[in-house]
Chain A
Amino acid sequence: MMDIAASLWDTGFAPFSEFAFMRRALVATLALSLSAAPLGVFLTLRRMSLLGDALSHAVLPGVAMGFMLSGLSLTAMALGGVLAGMLVAGIAGLVTRFTALKEDASLAAIYLVALALGVMLISGHGTQLDLLHILFGSALGVDTAGLLMVASVATLSVLLLAAMYRGLVLESFDPVFLGAAGRRGWLWQQGFLMLVVINLVAGFQTLGTLMAVGLMMLPAVSARLWHDTLPAQLVNASVQAMLSSVAGLLLSYHLDTPSGPTIIGCAGALYFTSLLVAPGGWLPRWWTTTHRVA
């Protein structure tokens, strides 16, 4: 009995209690799970599942600029990333409002330009290693400043999402109704995109710009298979993201794999499990053969 408890401690808790970098990584990914995953649910509801991916690429030139100007300074890179992301989202929003292009098309065009700029900047002024670090990050390298940034972004993002909730629901569900009620409906959309941008930037050091999207989207997509109501989906997505974070960090510690991809891999495993057993998934269609009389 004692043996089991001891080995549980060793595999599940010791890594966190012994190493400060593991604790910081844990707190950072948990905070991100809380703020990013609900945003992912809204993205899927608005049929913009791939938008997170596009925006994460759009952040790249800003991060590169920050890196060029002040080296591996987290503040500079994060600030650059936020500015670039907001610029891309803002320009895409303007294009959508004032031309015949729909949102996805205008965003696709502009993020591709931004991505090309970013790669040009990085390859001109850095090494392959820097590029890999920016794209895939390293949860185990989060320092106190990075942790503070992630925590602030998560706090701000959760509060703002709560404040914007009613408007976002209405704008996603029935944009025409919102448009008829006033001319400022597009502000909700822009505010929401800004939240997505700051979360992606907060995630870039921990998970890398590419993997940050994984923590945002994967739990969100599988959460939709579990519940019919929006609040339940939001909570479910956060919980799944947290589970993936803990499991991913532990696995990456014991198996010596890169932390970001391992966390996203765990989220993927949860997704495939959900696909099978969740109420909206595949297996329940075979189990429930009876139906009610009315």
Chain B
Amino acid sequence: MVAGMRAPAVTLNNLTVSYRQHPALHHLSGNFAGGSLTAVVGPNGAGKSTLLKSIAGLLPLPGGALLTPIPRNRMAYLPQLAEIDRSFPIDVRDCVLLGHWGTSGAWGAVTPAMRQGVDAALQAVGLQGFGYRNVGSLSSGQLQRVLFARVLVQDAELILLDEPFNAVDSKTTAALLALVQQWHGQQRTIIAVLHDDTLVRQHFPQTVLLARELVGWGPTDQTLTEPNLRRARAMAEAWDEAAERCDIDTPTPPLNAQKVAT
């Protein structure tokens, strides 16, 4: 990788995450460089969301190691839409304001500067004037933009996006992508789960190709190759209820070229 790249933001060392002893992620090793913009790609059930949740610290401690120098309150995690209670009586401004939770916590004051930041964030995602609308009255795409505004307010070093452009029209996707590029320009580390290969090729310099195991990790044009994709599809389809116990203990060497900082 290019010299001058910063220390890794997230290092995976032989990471294995299982649901009921079946691995969703199997012996993953590698690292996300600080300030990198990486897409996580793979077929359904490849463990993409599991990887993001593991990094966000939402799953019980996995096998292997997952190291990051970034504290929890400097990470932003945007889950898939389904996990939010849209009937909750909360307005858009308050929802975005909750992005300050990591720094202000339960009792910190809400300053006028924070409120201005919220208005600016809503403007940035094209939702000015929506501040006093209830979250429940928004469309899925609009809600996604609200959540992007919240990430903006969070001002995080590490940003995890789980299928951020689902249910979003092409115009909004373009606007949100611009925001992602802006974060990239600000040297934030971004990891996004995506389905659209074309979009990944156009906008994401780095790609992780998953099929429970690592198929490829590196510059997008070298990772998203037809042989790799075919291999990923074949691997994801294998599911054996009576599979033997895995006894790999030694980590597989990291597939991406950057060496792990010691």
Stretch at the interface among A2-10, A70-78, A226-234: A226-234
Number of contacting residues on A, CB 8 A? Answer: 24
Q: Which residues of B contact A (CB under 8 A)?
A: 56-58, 72-73, 75-77, 79, 83-85, 88-91, 94-95, 98, 101-102, 106-107, 134-135
B146 to chain A, nearest CB (A): 11
Question: What residues of chain A lie closer than 8 Å to B134, measured between beta carbons?
Answer: 228-229
Question: Which of B75, B83, B88 is A172 in contact with, Cβ under 8 Å?
Answer: B88
Q: Which residue of A lies closest to B97 (CB)?
A: A166
A173 with B84, Cβ < 8 A, contacts A178-B101, A180-B58 known = yes
Q: Which residue of A lies closest to B103 (CB)?
A: A181
A227 with B89, Cβ < 8 A, contacts A163-B107, A181-B72 known = yes
Q: Does A13 contact B (CB under 8 A)?
A: no
| 28 CB-based A-B contacts, threshold 8 Å | A45-B85, A45-B88, A163-B106, A163-B107, A164-B106, A166-B101, A166-B106, A166-B107, A169-B90, A170-B101, A173-B90, A173-B135, A174-B83, A176-B77, A176-B79, A177-B98, A177-B101, A179-B56, A180-B57, A180-B58, A181-B73, A181-B102, A182-B73, A183-B57, A224-B89, A229-B134, A230-B89, A233-B89
| Main secondary structure on A side of the interface with B | helix
Question: What residues of chain B lie closer than 8 Å to A173, measured between beta carbons?
Answer: 84-85, 88, 90, 95, 98, 135
Q: Which residue of A lies closest to B19 (CB)?
A: A100
Interface members, chain A 157-209 (any B CB < 8 Å): 163-164, 166-167, 169-170, 172-174, 176-183
Complex CA gap A183/B91 in Å reads 26
Question: What residues of chain B lie closer than 8 Å to A174, measured between beta carbons?
Answer: 83-85, 98
Task: Establish whether residues B107 and A177, one from each chain, have CB atoms under 8 Å apart when the complex forms.
Answer: no
Q: Which residue of B lies closest to A100 (CB)?
A: B20
Q: Which residues of A contact B (CB under 8 A)?
A: 45, 163-164, 166-167, 169-170, 172-174, 176-183, 224, 227-230, 233
Task: Establish whether residues B102 and A172, one from each chain, have CB atoms under 8 Å apart when the complex forms.
Answer: no
Task: Establish whether residues A181 and B88, one from each chain, have CB atoms under 8 Å apart when the complex forms.
Answer: no
Q: Which of A45, A174, A179 has the most CB of B within 10 A?
A: A174
B52 to chain A, nearest CB (A): 10
Question: Which of B77, B83, B98 is A170 in contact with, Cβ under 8 Å?
Answer: B98
Complex CA gap A163/B108 in Å reads 11
Q: Which residue of B lies closest to A231 (CB)?
A: B89
A18 to chain B, nearest CB (A): 43
B60 to chain A, nearest CB (A): 9
B224 to chain A, nearest CB (A): 28
Question: What residues of chain A lie closer than 8 Å to B72, measured between beta carbons?
Answer: 180-182
A174 to chain B, nearest CB (A): 5
Task: Establish whether residues A228 and B77, one from each chain, have CB atoms under 8 Å apart when the complex forms.
Answer: no
Q: Which residue of B lies closest to A41 (CB)?
A: B89
Complex CA gap A173/B83 in Å reads 10
A162 to chain B, nearest CB (A): 11
Q: Which of B72, B77, B106 has the most CB of A within 10 A?
A: B106
